[in-house]
Amino acid sequence: MMEANVYNIKGEKTGSTPLPENIFNAKINVPLMHEVVTWYLANWRKGSHSAKTRAEVSGSGKKPWKQKGTGRARAGSIRSPLWRHGGVIFAKKPREFSYSMPKKKVRIALLSALSSKAKDGSVMVLDELKIVEPKTKNVAGIIKNLKLKDKVLLVSKRDKILNMASRNMANLFLHDVTDLTTYDVLNSDKILFTKESLDRCSILST
């Protein structure tokens, strides 16, 4: 059975707790995780890039100079892609990059990612997390006590004060259990569950 160490906010180990087998001991499917992360990042893309073709840039359609006799290279338009301020060849236009992904694949990939982190020993549990004031130093102090220096995914119930206290920390990512994605899990070095959130993890398998 997979287990994770339990700590208090002072960084002291208070024991260990078993991790749900159906969540943290699933088969690790690397190709599927890659597929789902690629889909997730594609859905993030705005696709707002745009450039003008020679038909869209401003400028006269008149031939700059006669074809022969000037000694200069032939030119038919000042809007030519060869000219400065000319149009762009095969100009990029706004497009939609998002596509659909079966929910079952998304769910299995998430369980696979969580299982991978659990087997690496990257899952930790915080026995209790209560933030009274929305101050960054309160959350930063807990992270420091736990000796966490890299990217940390904090899985805790949504709370306005906690959200305000943690949003200025560059390497801390706060998510509710229901918001977890394969990308979030794989993009973090350590996953810190509150005891309450760990107890709610069963919803991820349905």
Distance of CA 204 to the CA centre of its chain: 19
| Number of other CB atoms surrounding residue 145 within 10 Å | 14
Location of structure tokens 């290279």 = 73
Tell whether 122 and 38 lie within a shared domain. Answer: yes
190-194 vs 123-126, strand pairing mode: parallel
Tell whether 59 and 115 lie within a shared domain. Answer: no
- Residue 180 has a pLDDT of 94
Counting as low any pLDDT under 50, the low residues of the chain are none
Tokens of 50: 């745009």
Contact between residue 126 and residue 37 where contact means Cβ atoms under 8 Å apart = no
Tell whether 167 and 68 lie within a shared domain. Answer: no
Tell whether 81 and 113 lie within a shared domain. Answer: no
Tell whether 83 and 129 lie within a shared domain. Answer: no
Residue 114 to residue 110: CA distance in whole angstroms: 6
Tell whether 109 and 147 lie within a shared domain. Answer: yes
Tell whether 63 and 160 lie within a shared domain. Answer: no
Tell whether 146 and 89 lie within a shared domain. Answer: no
| Number of other CB atoms surrounding residue 3 within 10 Å | 15
Last residue of a domain, one of 93, 117, 150: 93
Q: Three-state secondary structure along the chain?
A: CCEEEEECCCCCEEEEEECCHHHHCCCCCHHHHHHHHHHHHHHHCCCCCCCCCCCCCCCCCCCCCCCCCCCCCCCCCCCCCCCCCCCCCCCCCCCCCCCCCCHHHHHHHHHHHHHHHHHCCCEEEECCCCCCCCCHHHHHHHHHHCCCCCCEEEECCCCHHHHHHHCCCCCEEEECHHHCCHHHHHCCCEEEEEHHHHHCHHHHHC
Tell whether 199 and 125 lie within a shared domain. Answer: yes
Tell whether 105 and 33 lie within a shared domain. Answer: yes
Tell whether 30 and 58 lie within a shared domain. Answer: no
Which residues form the domain of 163?
A: 3-46+100-205
Quote the number of domains for the chain.
Answer: 2
Which CATH number covers residue 116? 3.40.1370.10
Tokens of 155: 């899985």
Residue 117 to residue 24: CA distance in whole angstroms: 8
Residue 179 to residue 95: CA distance in whole angstroms: 27
Tell whether 31 and 115 lie within a shared domain. Answer: yes
pLDDT in tens, 173-185: 999 999 999 999 9
